[in-house]
Chain A
Amino acid sequence: MGSGHYHQFNPAPPSLPLSLPPKLIWSPSHRFRWSFFVVHSIDPFCNLDLGSRLIVYLITSFSMKTWRQFIGLCIYLLVWSSFISSPIVDSANSNFNSGNERTFHPVKKFVMQSYFDRHIELHDSVFDNFISQEDNVGLCQVLPENHDFVPRLSVLKRDLIGEGSHRHVSTLLKFQSQQLESSSQLLSSSCDFIIIERLPTGVFADPFELQRLVQRGVFNDVDVFGDTNLELPSFLSNRSAVEIHLVVDPNKFLEPTDIKIELPLHARYQPLNESGYSTVELGMPDILVRCSTKERSENQNYFFKLTNNDADVMYEADVLWRIPSGKKAHSNLVFVITFSVALLSTLVIFLSSLEYSKSRVRKDSKQS
C-alpha cells in the first residue's frame, strides 16, 4: 500500500552553523529524552507505526553526540514532515487506493456532504434529482451477481413522540426474513443504514445533542447539514437535513427484524398565524443501505435505496407537528401596553427617587 515510501529516512543531518552557549548540558539522558520528544512530534505528520518509531528513536538518540547535531536533525525533520503532509503527496496516495476498486468516485462519508458541496440550500426537487443519479452517491442499480442481500421492508411507520417544542420523531422499519443462497457471504459483511431526514424550516436538530447520542452509542454517526442556526425563527432560516448512520449486522435479517430510530428535534419560532398554531409536516426519510463485503481481501461497497414504490409495504407516515405561534391580532395591543407599562414604571421610579431626595432635604432643614 505504499507504506514503504514513508520509511525512507536519511539519518545524516546537515550540519548547520549554530552558535549556542557552550554551557548547554547534553548528557545521554538528555539525548534519550529529546529523541523521545522528537519522535512524538513528528508522529502526527507521518503516521509511523511502532517499529518505525522505535527505529527513529534509536537512531536519533545514538547518533546525536552533540546538541548541535540534534538541533540540525530537528530542523531537517520539520522540513521533511511538512513536505510529507502537503497535498501533493496526499492525492497521489488516494489515487493509488481507489484504483483498485470498480469505477466509482471516492465515496464521501456523508451523502449529504456531497449534496451541500454543490448546492447552497435544500430543495426537495433538487435533492430527489441528486439522489437518483448514481454517480453522486455511488448507487448501483445492478447489484454484484454474487450478492443477493436486499433487506425487504414490510412496514415503515413514523411517529412523533412527546409534547411541546422538544420532541422525537421515530421511524420504525420492519423487515421480512431473508432467504439466502449463500449465507457465508453475509457473515463477512456489514451494512450501514443511512437515514436522511430532510427537515422543514419549522424544526431543527441540535448537532451537539446528536453528538452526545453518538457518544452514548445510540447511533454510529450523525451529522446535520444546511442551516444549523439554533436561535433564528423559522421564517429567517433555511432547511436542514440530518444524516444518521446505523451499522447493522446483516445476520439479523435472517429473521423478521425491526429497526427503530428516534431523532430528537426542536421547534423553531414560527411565523405569525391567525389561529395561534402553525403546522409543520415531516416528510418521509430517504433510507439508503451501504453494504461492504470483504471478498478475496478486497473491499466492495454497494448502495441501494430502500424502495418507496413497493405496493407490499405498509406506510403509516403522516407526521404533523402543531407548534404555537404568535397571533398578528395581538400586535397593536402588545405594543401599546408594553410601552405604556415601561413609561409608567419609569415615572414611578422617577417620582419615588425625587421624593426620597426631597424628604432628605426636609429632614435636614428640620434638624438644623
Chain B
Amino acid sequence: MRSLDFTSLLLFSAIFRVILIIYGEWQDAHMEVNYTDVDYLVFSDAASLMASGDSPYKRTTYRYSPLLAFLLIPNSLIHRSWGKFIFSASDLLVGYFIHFILQQRKVPRKLCNYCVMTWLFNPFTFTIGTRGNCEPVVCAMILWIIICLMKGNLLQSAFWYGLIVHFRIYPIIYAIPIVLVLDPNFFPSNRKPILKNWTAAQAERLNDGNCLCSLHNLLKCIFTRKRLMFGMVSAAVFFLFTGLSYYLYGWEFLHEALLYHLTRTDPRHNFSIYFYHIYLHYGYDISVMEKLISFLPQFMVQLVLIFCFAKDLPFCLFAQTVAFVAFNKVITAQYFVWFFCLLPLILPWSKMKLKWDGMLCILSWMGAQVHWLMWGYLLEFKGKNVFLELWVASLVFHAANVFILTLVIRHHRFSSFFLGLEDVKSKNVAKLE
C-alpha cells in the first residue's frame, strides 16, 4: 500500500469539492433537476432579506438561527455560491480536525489516514457540503469542542457549546456526557488533562469501575467548579445569542428557529418510523400519555448510552447521535452527517474488520435506505398508495440502524478518553519499577 500523505489527501478533496460546486452550477442552469438543495435557496433568500435590513424569517421555511443568514450575506454581494464554498471549507476543516484528534491520541499514521478518508471520501459528506447544506459547519463546531476539551480550554469549549446549541438544538444531548467527563479525576485543578493514547492491546484495564460506579461518583460530587463553570458559560452564551436574535427578530425567530424543531411533527413521508402514525392522527389532539410513550424510548436509550460510555467520550457521542437520529420523529438524509463526522474518531478502537462484519453493516444500512427510497419513489413520483409498505420500509431501516449500533457496541474496545489521576500514578510507579 502506498503511503498516503494527509496534506495531499486534503488537497485532493478540496479540488474535488471545487469541481463539484462548479458542476452543480452547470447542472442548475442546464438540467430540469437541480443539484443545489432547496434549503440553500432558502438560506440565500433569507440572507439577502437580512442584507437589505429585513427579517430573514420573512422567507417561508427558513428555520435556522439568524447567524446562518448572516454567514451567507456575501451570497448576494460576491457570488451566489459563497455559501457552498463556506460549507465545503467546513467539510475540509472537519477532516483536518479528525486528523488532529487522532494524531494527538497517537493513532498510527496509516490507520489515521484511512479513518480520515471515511469522512473525506464519503459520498454523503461531499455531496452535502457542495449542495449547500449547513451541516458541515455544525460538525466542525462539535469537533472543535472536543479538541478544546482535549487541550483543557474549558471556557472556549463552553462558548462553542452554547453557540452550537443555539444554532442547532440537537447537541443538547451531549451536555450530560461532557459534564460527566469533566470529572476532577480527569481535570485536576493544577494541570491540563492527559489523553489516553491508542494501543494495539486487546482490552483495557478497568480501573475506574463500570457505569454504575460512575453514577455513584456523579451523585457524590456533581457540583465541581469545572462543571459549574462549563454549565454556566454555555448557558450564558446560549441565552445571549438567543436573546439577541429575539431582540432583533421577535417572536417569529423563537417560533421558527426554536419551537418548530422542538414540537415538529411532520406528517410528510420521511425515514422515521413515526411518520405514518403522525399522518393518521394529524389534526387530532394527542393525549399526554401518547406524548410520553413517544418520548420515552428516546430518553431511555440516551440515558443508558450516557451512563455506560461517558468516559469514552467520542464513542458516547457517536452512539448517542446514531440513537437520537434513529428514534427521532423526523429523519431526513442530512441528519446522517451528524454521526458520520464522529465515526472516524471511533474506528481505530473497533475490533470490527471490513470483512465481513464491516461490509455487513454498510450493506444492510445502504440496502435498507435504498429499499425505503424505492417505496418513496413509488408514492411520490408514481402516485401509488404504498403508505403501508413505506412504513414497513421505515421500520426495516430503523431495525438496521439498531442492529448496526449493537454490532458497533459489541466490537468496540472501550478506551477512556482521558487518563485519570490513578492511571497516571500507576504509570509512573510502573516506570520507576
The answer to whether A361 touches B210 (Cβ under 8 A) is yes
The answer to whether A323 touches B383 (Cβ under 8 A) is yes
Tell me, yes or no, whether A228 is within 8 Å of chain B by CB: yes
Tell me, yes or no, whether A208 is within 8 Å of chain B by CB: yes
The answer to whether A337 touches B268 (Cβ under 8 A) is no
Interfacial chain B residues near A345, Cβ < 8 Å: 297, 326-327, 398-399, 402
Tell me, yes or no, whether B110 is within 8 Å of chain A by CB: no
Within 8 A of A (CB), among B219-276: 266-268, 273-274, 276
State whether A356 and B383 are in contact (beta carbons under 8 Å apart), knowing that A233-B282, A342-B327, A349-B323 are contacts in the complex: no
Tell me, yes or no, whether A350 is within 8 Å of chain B by CB: yes
State whether A349 and B410 are in contact (beta carbons under 8 Å apart), knowing that A339-B293, A361-B210 are contacts in the complex: no
The answer to whether B60 touches A327 (Cβ under 8 A) is no
The answer to whether B41 touches A208 (Cβ under 8 A) is yes
The answer to whether A229 touches B60 (Cβ under 8 A) is yes
Q: Which of A269, A325, A331 contacts B385 (CB 8 A)?
A: A325
| Binary contact readout A11-30 vs B (1 if CB under 8 angstroms, 0 otherwise) | 00000000000000000000
Interfacial chain A residues near B402, Cβ < 8 Å: 345, 348-349
Within 8 A of B (CB), among A205-242: 208, 228-231, 233, 235-236
State whether A236 and B283 are in contact (beta carbons under 8 Å apart), knowing that A353-B309, A357-B211 are contacts in the complex: yes
Interfacial chain B residues near A236, Cβ < 8 Å: 282-283
Within 8 A of B (CB), among A247-305: 269, 272, 276-277
Give the complex CA separation of A164 and B387 in angstroms. Answer: 14
Q: How distant is B42 from chain A, measured CB to nearest CB, in Å?
A: 9
The answer to whether B300 touches A350 (Cβ under 8 A) is yes
Residue from the set B276, B386, B399 with the largest chain A CB neighbour count within 10 Å: B276
Give the complex CA separation of A330 and B382 in angstroms. Answer: 22
Tell me, yes or no, whether B388 is within 8 Å of chain A by CB: yes
Q: Which of A164, A326, A334, A343 contacts B380 (CB 8 A)?
A: A164
| Binary contact readout A148-185 vs B (1 if CB under 8 angstroms, 0 otherwise) | 00000000000000011110000000000000000000
Interfacial chain A residues near B209, Cβ < 8 Å: 361
Q: How distant is A214 from chain B, measured CB to nearest CB, in Å?
A: 15
Residue from the set B209, B379, B398, B402 with the largest chain A CB neighbour count within 10 Å: B402
Within 8 A of B (CB), among A70-108: none
The answer to whether B304 touches A350 (Cβ under 8 A) is yes
The answer to whether B385 touches A277 (Cβ under 8 A) is yes
The answer to whether A361 touches B206 (Cβ under 8 A) is yes
Interfacial chain B residues near A277, Cβ < 8 Å: 385
Give the complex CA separation of A165 and B380 in angstroms. Answer: 5
Interfacial chain B residues near A327, Cβ < 8 Å: 385, 387-388
State whether A269 and B279 are in contact (beta carbons under 8 Å apart), knowing that A164-B382, A364-B206 are contacts in the complex: yes
Tell me, yes or no, whether A309 is within 8 Å of chain B by CB: no
State whether A163 and B406 are in contact (beta carbons under 8 Å apart), knowing that A334-B391, A350-B304 are contacts in the complex: no
The answer to whether A165 touches B387 (Cβ under 8 A) is no
Residue from the set B41, B301, B379 with the largest chain A CB neighbour count within 10 Å: B301
State whether A330 and B268 are in contact (beta carbons under 8 Å apart), knowing that A236-B283, A350-B300 are contacts in the complex: no
Q: Which of A330, A342, A346, A367 contacts B273 (CB 8 A)?
A: A342
The answer to whether A231 touches B385 (Cβ under 8 A) is no
Q: How distant is B264 from chain A, measured CB to nearest CB, in Å?
A: 10
The answer to whether A330 touches B280 (Cβ under 8 A) is yes
Number of A-B contacts (CB under 8 A): 140
Interfacial chain B residues near A328, Cβ < 8 Å: 280
Q: Classify the interface of chain A: helix, strand, loop or mixed.
A: helix
Tell me, yes or no, whether B305 is within 8 Å of chain A by CB: yes
Tell me, yes or no, whether A322 is within 8 Å of chain B by CB: yes
Give the complex CA separation of A325 and B381 in angstroms. Answer: 14
Q: Which of B276, B294, B381, B385 contacts A334 (CB 8 A)?
A: B276
The answer to whether A165 touches B308 (Cβ under 8 A) is no
Tell me, yes or no, whether A341 is within 8 Å of chain B by CB: yes
Tell me, yes or no, whether A1 is within 8 Å of chain B by CB: no
Tell me, yes or no, whether B350 is within 8 Å of chain A by CB: no
Give the complex CA separation of A349 and B298 in angstroms. Answer: 11
Interfacial chain B residues near A356, Cβ < 8 Å: 308, 409-410, 412, 414
Q: Which of A165, A269, A348, A363 contacts B267 (CB 8 A)?
A: A269
Residue from the set A208, A345, A360 with the largest chain B CB neighbour count within 10 Å: A345
Q: How distant is B35 from chain A, measured CB to nearest CB, in Å?
A: 15
Tell me, yes or no, whether A324 is within 8 Å of chain B by CB: yes
State whether A166 and B381 are in contact (beta carbons under 8 Å apart), knowing that A230-B60, A331-B280 are contacts in the complex: yes
Interfacial chain A residues near B283, Cβ < 8 Å: 233, 235-236
Give the complex CA separation of A362 and B274 in angstroms. Answer: 39
Give the complex CA separation of A343 and B292 in angstroms. Answer: 12
Give the complex CA separation of A348 and B399 in angstroms. Answer: 10
Give the complex CA separation of A322 and B379 in angstroms. Answer: 12
| Binary contact readout A309-326 vs B (1 if CB under 8 angstroms, 0 otherwise) | 000000000000011111
Tell me, yes or no, whether B355 is within 8 Å of chain A by CB: no
Q: How distant is B390 from chain A, measured CB to nearest CB, in Å?
A: 10
Give the complex CA separation of A236 and B309 in angstroms. Answer: 44
Q: How distant is A368 from chain B, measured CB to nearest CB, in Å?
A: 8
Tell me, yes or no, whether A358 is within 8 Å of chain B by CB: yes
Interfacial chain A residues near B294, Cβ < 8 Å: 339, 342
The answer to whether B305 touches A330 (Cβ under 8 A) is no
The answer to whether B276 touches A363 (Cβ under 8 A) is no
Tell me, yes or no, whether B277 is within 8 Å of chain A by CB: yes
Give the complex CA separation of A198 and B390 in angstroms. Answer: 32
Interfacial chain A residues near B309, Cβ < 8 Å: 353
The answer to whether B382 touches A354 (Cβ under 8 A) is no
Tell me, yes or no, whether B333 is within 8 Å of chain A by CB: no
Q: Which 5 residue pairs are nearest across A and B when measured between Cβ atoms?
A: A324-B385, A364-B206, A164-B381, A276-B385, A346-B297
* Interchain Cβ contacts under 8 Å between A and B, 12 examples: A233-B283, A322-B383, A323-B383, A324-B379, A324-B385, A330-B387, A341-B399, A345-B402, A349-B405, A354-B304, A356-B412, A367-B203
Told that A326-B387, A350-B301 touch, could you supply 18 new A-B pairs with CB distance under 8 A?
A165-B379, A322-B383, A324-B379, A324-B383, A327-B387, A330-B387, A335-B280, A335-B281, A339-B294, A345-B327, A345-B402, A349-B406, A356-B409, A356-B410, A357-B210, A360-B414, A361-B209, A367-B205
